[in-house]
Structures are given as structure tokens and as C-alpha cells.
């Protein structure tokens, strides 16, 4: 009986717990704290934080329990991450939620979304410089797009062993937008520039809204067919929303589907951060490069807006460049807040949403392009 009890005790998590597991559980709890108390992206950080806690409960290997063990429940759920199913479903829901009217009304602002993608390619060079392999470097670089699902999608295709750290880095920086972006925005713009008002958004007709997803999916998917599962579903979701005859499907996409995908994506990505896989020098490098990528993306959008202003009669508020990253709607909200802090009558939200939406499209194209280059 004593042997039985001893065997049981040595198989418990208490006995198998390592300092690494403990550290990761604390990190998971910090994520939960940030989500619940500080309300930093709670829809993402709660599933991820809880996943980190559960994923770091130690267990006896070989019982088919862990996320990396064949035939475990979590392994099956993780299948949606490694195959890119969840990110694509998130894009479907995102499309059904997004109103592209601001993008249609301010098409030139799409260039700011394009400029913000430069962070991705600068970081690619940085990651190669530090010593990451090309496929790993490409996966790390996409963090600069500030798009969690796209980062996971590309990493699953190119460097599946890095999904945990890359996803955590991408979502952490998305949650930390209110901390990271404002100092960069203030540093790169003058007060006079921050006071620039944007013209009122013109009315966008239903036909334009209807034609946009079709035209955009043809143009973008022809350019980067590797991003078909992201962009195709994004524009399908949007078409369901605007066509007016599939409201029930649009409702499902923007509620049930995106919520289910977000819960499973966040939880399994959190679980994939098991201490023995996650705590290494590569993860530290990824976090460092991720912050560089995000900062460069923010800065390049702002600087490009300033360059455009040298040639344009009707000036653009350079703060909008910061919304060129695809963190919807966090970065647009920061632009609006900073604009209003300088002048309460300055309404930048709608043009900032245009930049944000183009950022989503841009980072998905960038992911497709990187995938093509690496294969």
C-alpha cells in the first residue's frame, strides 16, 4: 500500500514541478491579471494566460496528456493551430466584423498600412543577423505586422517549433499597444502635425461596399495566393456582412465562429508554452526582436505619412501612420486618443480605422510573400 501511495505521489504535479513550470505559471497569472484588472485585450489574454497555467502543470510523460503528446485531447485541439485552421477562422469572423467603408472613403491612407509593413522586413534582416535560420527569421519578422493570427499562421507553416514564443510575443505586444505606441508617436511628430484635421468621411454607397471584398480578394489573392486561406476568408466574411442576404451567416461568423476559434487558439497557444520547450535563449531573442519589429512598424508608418505630406496639398495627420499596423482596433484607438488629447475636436478614429484595415490586408500579403520566398 505504501508503494502504491509513493508511486502516486511521485506522479503528481507537486513532485514533478520544476522552477521553469513555476515561473511560467506566474507568467500565466500575470497575463490573467493584465486581462482582468488592467483590461488589456482580455479576449485574448484570458485564454492565453489560462492556457499557460494549465500547460505548465507537470505530468508524467507518456500518458497522452500533454499538448505535444500524440492522441491527447490537447494535441487534437492544437491541430487547429499547426494547420492554420484557427487563424483562418479568426479572419472569417474578422471580415464579418469589419466595416471597410472608411478604407473605401480614404483609399490613399492604404499607403500608410503598406508603409507600416516595413517593420516586418527590417526585422527579417535583424533576425538573420542575430543568427536565426531563414524560416525562423521570417516567422519572427511577421510579429511586426502586429497581427496574432497571421503570425501564428506563418509560423505554423515555416517554424512550428516557435509557435509558442512567437504567438505570445505577438499577442503581448498587441495588448501593450497603449504602452508601446504613444511614446513613439509623440517622439516622431510635432504638436502642429498632431493638430492636423482629416476631412469628414464621405458617404460610401452599398454598391461600393459590395464590390470592395470581391475586387480586393481578386487583387490580393492573385498577388499572394499563399495567403488565400487568410485573405479569402477575410473577404468572404466581409461579403457575408455587406451583401444583405446572409445576415444569419454573418452573425454566426462574427459571433460563434470567431469566439470559438479565439478561445481554442488562445488556450492551445498558451498551453504550448511548456517550460521545457519555451524557456530558452531563442524565446528571449524572439521577444526582443518582436518589440523591435513592432516599434519599427509604428515608426515607419508615421515617417511615411510625413514624407507624403511633403508632396501633398491636403496634409495627412502623421499619427495615422501608427495605425498602419494591423492591431484592430487598438492602434486606431490610440491614434484617436492622442489626437483628441491635443485638440478635443480632432476626430481621427475613422481614418485610423482605414489604416488599420489596410494593415490587416498588408500583413496577410506579407505573410503570403514570405511563405512563397521560403519555399
Query: Where does this chain bind another protein (CB under 8 A)?
Result: 103-104, 107-108, 110-111, 113-115, 117-118, 120-122, 124-125, 128-131, 134, 137, 200, 203, 205, 207-208, 211-212, 215-216, 219-220, 223-224, 345, 347, 358, 361-362, 365-366, 369-370, 373
Q: From the CB of 148, what's the least distance to another protein, in Å?
A: 19
Q: From the CB of 342, what's the least distance to another protein, in Å?
A: 16
- Write down the residue that cell numbers 520566398 correspond to: 373
Terminal alpha carbon distance of the chain: 58
Q: From the CB of 6, what's the least distance to another protein, in Å?
A: 49
Measured distance CA(262)–CA(213) in Å, rounded: 23
Q: From the CB of 142, what's the least distance to another protein, in Å?
A: 11
**In terms of C-beta density within 10 A (0-12 exposed, 13-18 middle, 19 or more buried), how is residue 55 classed?**
buried
The three grid cell numbers given for residue 331, joined into one nine-digit string:
492602434
Instruction: Tell me whether residue 67 or residue 220 sits nearer to another protein (CB atom).
Output: 220
Instruction: Tell me whether residue 137 or residue 152 sits nearer to another protein (CB atom).
Output: 137
List Cβ neighbours of 370 (8 Å cut-off, separation of 6 or more). Answer: 120, 124, 138, 141, 142, 154, 158
44 contacts 266 by C-beta, under 8 angstroms = yes
Q: From the CB of 233, what's the least distance to another protein, in Å?
A: 17
Measured distance CA(39)–CA(137) in Å, rounded: 31
Instruction: Tell me whether residue 217 or residue 272 sits nearer to another protein (CB atom).
Output: 217
3 state SS of 69: coil
Instruction: Tell me whether residue 211 or residue 337 sits nearer to another protein (CB atom).
Output: 211
Cis, bond preceding 329 (omega within 30 deg of 0): yes
Q: From the CB of 346, what's the least distance to another protein, in Å?
A: 10
The three grid cell numbers given for residue 124, joined into one nine-digit string:
527579417
What is the DSSP secondary structure assignment for residue 375, as one 8-state letter?
-
DSSP string, 167-191: HHHHHHHHHTHHHHHHHHHHHH--H
Q: From the CB of 257, what's the least distance to another protein, in Å?
A: 26
47 contacts 267 by C-beta, under 8 angstroms = yes
Q: Where is 51: in which H helix or E strand?
A: helix 42-55
268 contacts 80 by C-beta, under 8 angstroms = yes
Instruction: Tell me whether residue 227 or residue 332 sits nearer to another protein (CB atom).
Output: 227
Instruction: Tell me whether residue 100 or residue 267 sits nearer to another protein (CB atom).
Output: 100
Q: From the CB of 174, what's the least distance to another protein, in Å?
A: 20
Instruction: Tell me whether residue 121 or residue 171 sits nearer to another protein (CB atom).
Output: 121
Instruction: Tell me whether residue 96 or residue 369 sits nearer to another protein (CB atom).
Output: 369
Measured distance CA(230)–CA(347) in Å, rounded: 31
Amino acid at each position: 500500500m505504501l508503494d502504491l501511495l509513493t508511486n502516486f505521489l511521485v506522479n503528481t504535479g507537486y513532485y514533478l514541478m520544476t522552477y521553469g513550470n513555476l515561473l511560467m505559471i506566474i507568467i500565466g497569472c500575470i497575463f490573467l491579471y493584465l486581462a482582468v484588472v488592467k483590461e488589456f485585450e482580455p479576449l485574448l489574454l484570458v485564454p492565453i494566460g489560462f492556457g499557460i497555467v494549465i500547460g505548465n502543470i507537470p505530468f508524467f510523460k507518456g500518458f497522452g496528456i500533454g499538448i505535444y503528446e500524440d492522441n491527447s485531447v490537447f494535441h487534437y485541439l492544437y491541430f487547429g493551430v499547426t494547420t492554420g485552421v484557427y487563424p483562418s477562422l479568426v479572419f472569417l469572423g474578422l471580415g464579418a466584423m469589419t466595416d471597410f467603408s472608411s478604407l473605401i472613403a480614404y483609399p490613399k491612407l492604404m499607403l500608410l498600412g503598406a508603409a507600416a509593413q516595413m517593420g516586418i522586413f527590417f526585422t527579417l534582416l535583424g533576425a538573420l543577423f542575430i543568427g536565426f535560420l531563414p524560416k525562423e527569421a521570417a516567422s519572427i519578422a511577421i510579429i511586426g505586422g502586429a497581427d496574432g493570427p497571421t503570425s501564428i499562421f506563418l509560423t505554423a507553416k515555416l517554424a512550428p517549433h516557435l509557435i509558442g514564443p512567437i504567438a505570445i510575443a505577438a499577442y503581448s505586444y498587441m495588448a501593450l499597444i497603449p504602452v508601446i505606441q504613444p511614446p513613439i508617436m509623440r517622439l516622431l511628430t510635432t504638436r502642429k502635425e498632431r493638430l492636423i484635421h482629416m476631412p469628414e468621411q464621405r458617404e460610401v454607397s452599398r454598391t461600393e461596399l459590395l464590390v470592395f471584398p470581391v475586387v480586393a480578394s481578386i487583387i490580393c489573392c492573385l498577388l499572394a495566393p499563399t495567403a488565400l486561406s487568410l485573405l479569402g476568408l477575410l473577404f468572404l466574411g466581409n461579403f457575408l456582412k455587406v451583401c444583405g442576404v446572409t445576415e444569419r451567416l454573418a452573425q454566426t461568423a462574427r459571433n460563434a465562429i470567431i469566439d470559438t476559434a479565439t478561445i481554442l487558439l488562445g488556450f492551445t497557444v498558451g498551453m504550448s508554452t511548456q517550460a521545457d520547450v519555451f524557456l530558452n535563449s531563442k524565446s528571449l531573442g524572439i521577444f526582443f526582436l518582436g518589440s523591435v519589429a513592432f516599434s519599427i512598424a509604428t515608426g515607419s508608418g508615421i515617417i511615411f505619412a510625413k514624407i507624403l505630406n511633403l508632396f501633398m496639398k491636403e496634409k495627412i495627420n502623421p499619427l495615422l501612420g501608427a495605425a498602419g499596423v494591423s492591431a484592430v482596433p487598438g492602434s486606431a484607438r490610440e491614434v484617436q486618443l492622442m489626437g483628441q488629447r491635443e485638440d478635443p475636436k480632432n476626430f481621427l478614429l475613422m481614418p485610423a480605422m482605414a489604416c488599420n484595415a489596410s494593415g490587416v490586408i498588408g500583413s496577410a500579403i506579407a505573410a503570403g510573400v514570405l511563405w512563397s520566398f521560403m519555399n
